[in-house]
């Protein structure tokens, strides 16, 4: 197996005195899709924000493509541009049209000419069925469309790793599907992804590996099969029983191995 594209070693993160991530170790291979699951507040989002260097870590190392990265790196913006991030609340720029949202970073960070950035952006929008919205402002789009634009905006920088932070949690149920579809297509295209998600059925279907976080620790990591049908840890089993029991119509067979 080739070297992982992203390695996390002994990562600790605290807010004030409150330790939210402890000793996180994780290797992500190229083209691999890892789903982070766990209760709200378990540290999934914080981990993604740390990888994107939006948060300063207290200890540990993050290695991207063989190069250690940290939030005080001098080439911070170059690094960030190689790690795409999509947020729960879309965070599109409301004063810019869709195409301007998509081309802002290529133009300003990579220095691509406007005409080139636009044709590349339009091609991306076209591929994901949003080219007719290119000149619209975000507030004219549905939540699902906005989130798809946010994903495309991250893709426009051709990141090596894409981080998705509960990207369907703020959506109306009927719009979740279109966003999950785009993610499935990205997996098909070989994008390396790290997803924090509450969509267990989707995680099971798309993930190469699933990591269960509990109180800031990766308690268990394995294939979806292992995690969802035969979790080792009782905490994992409890969590899955609770969440899948509560998921309308989404009952997955959790073979309880008491």
Partner 1 sequence: MSALPPPAQALNDAQIAEMLTPQAMWRDPALVRSALIALLSSIVVFGGLAWLISGTEGWESVQRSFFNWEHFRASFPKIWDGFKLNIKIFMIAEPIILGIGLLLAVIRASRGPALFPLRAFAVVYTDLFRGAPVLLVILTLGFGVPALRIDGIPNTPLVWGTVAIILSSSAYQAETFRAGIGTVHGSQRAAARALGLSSTQAMRYVVLPQAIRRVIPPTLSGFVGLQKETALISVLGPLEATRQAQIYGSLHFNYTSYVVAGLLFISITIPLARFTDYLLNRSEERRSMGGAV
Instruction: List residues binding partner 1 (CB under 8 A).
Output: 52, 54, 77-78, 80-81, 84-85, 87, 89, 91-95, 104-105, 108-109, 137-139, 153-154, 157
157 versus 175: smaller Cβ distance to partner 1: 157
Tell the smallest beta-carbon distance from residue 54 to partner 1 (Å).
Answer: 6
28 versus 92: smaller Cβ distance to partner 1: 92
CA–CA separation, 61 and 11 (whole Å): 6
Tell the smallest beta-carbon distance from residue 166 to partner 1 (Å).
Answer: 13
Kindly report the number of other CB atoms within 10 A of residue 167's CB atom.
26
Tell the smallest beta-carbon distance from residue 103 to partner 1 (Å).
Answer: 11
183 versus 227: smaller Cβ distance to partner 1: 183
75 versus 119: smaller Cβ distance to partner 1: 75
Return all residues near 29 (Cβ < 8 A) that are at least 6 apart: 1, 2, 4, 5, 192
72 versus 188: smaller Cβ distance to partner 1: 72
DSSP notation for 198-213: S-HHHHHHH-SEEEEE
Roughly how many angstroms between the first and final C-alpha of the chain, as a whole number?
35
Tell the smallest beta-carbon distance from residue 41 to partner 1 (Å).
Answer: 18
Tell the smallest beta-carbon distance from residue 81 to partner 1 (Å).
Answer: 3
Cβ-contact 143, 98 below 8 angstroms: no
CA–CA separation, 45 and 119 (whole Å): 33
Rounded to 5°, the CA angle 119-122-123 comes to: 85
């Amino acid at each position: 197996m080739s070297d992982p594209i992203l390695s996390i070693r002994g990562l600790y993160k605290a807010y004030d005195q409150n330790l939210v991530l402890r000793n996180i170790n994780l290797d992500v291979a190229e083209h691999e899709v890892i789903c982070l699951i766990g209760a709200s507040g378990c540290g999934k989002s914080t981990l993604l924000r740390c990888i994107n260097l939006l948060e300063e870590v207290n200890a540990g190392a993050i290695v991207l493509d063989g190069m250690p990265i940290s939030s005080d790196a001098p080439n911070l913006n170059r690094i960030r541009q190689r790690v795409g991030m999509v947020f729960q609340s879309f965070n599109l720029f409301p004063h810019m049209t869709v195409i301007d949202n998509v081309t802002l970073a290529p133009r300003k960070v990579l220095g691509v000419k406007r005409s080139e950035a636009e044709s590349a952006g339009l091609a991306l929008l076209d591929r994901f069925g949003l080219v007719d919205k290119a000149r619209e402002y975000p507030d004219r789009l549905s939540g699902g469309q906005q989130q798809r634009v946010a994903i495309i905006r991250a893709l426009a920088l051709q990141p090596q790793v894409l981080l998705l932070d509960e990207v369907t949690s703020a959506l109306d149920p009927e719009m979740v599907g279109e966003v999950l579809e785009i993610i499935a297509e990205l997996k098909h295209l070989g994008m390396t992804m790290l997803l924090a998600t509450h969509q267990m059925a989707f995680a099971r279907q798309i993930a190469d590996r699933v990591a269960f976080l509990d109180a800031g620790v990766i308690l268990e990591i394995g294939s979806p099969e292992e995690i969802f049908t035969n979790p080792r840890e009782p905490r994992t089993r409890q969590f899955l029983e609770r969440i899948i029991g509560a998921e309308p119509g989404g009952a997955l067979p959790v073979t309880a191995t008491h």
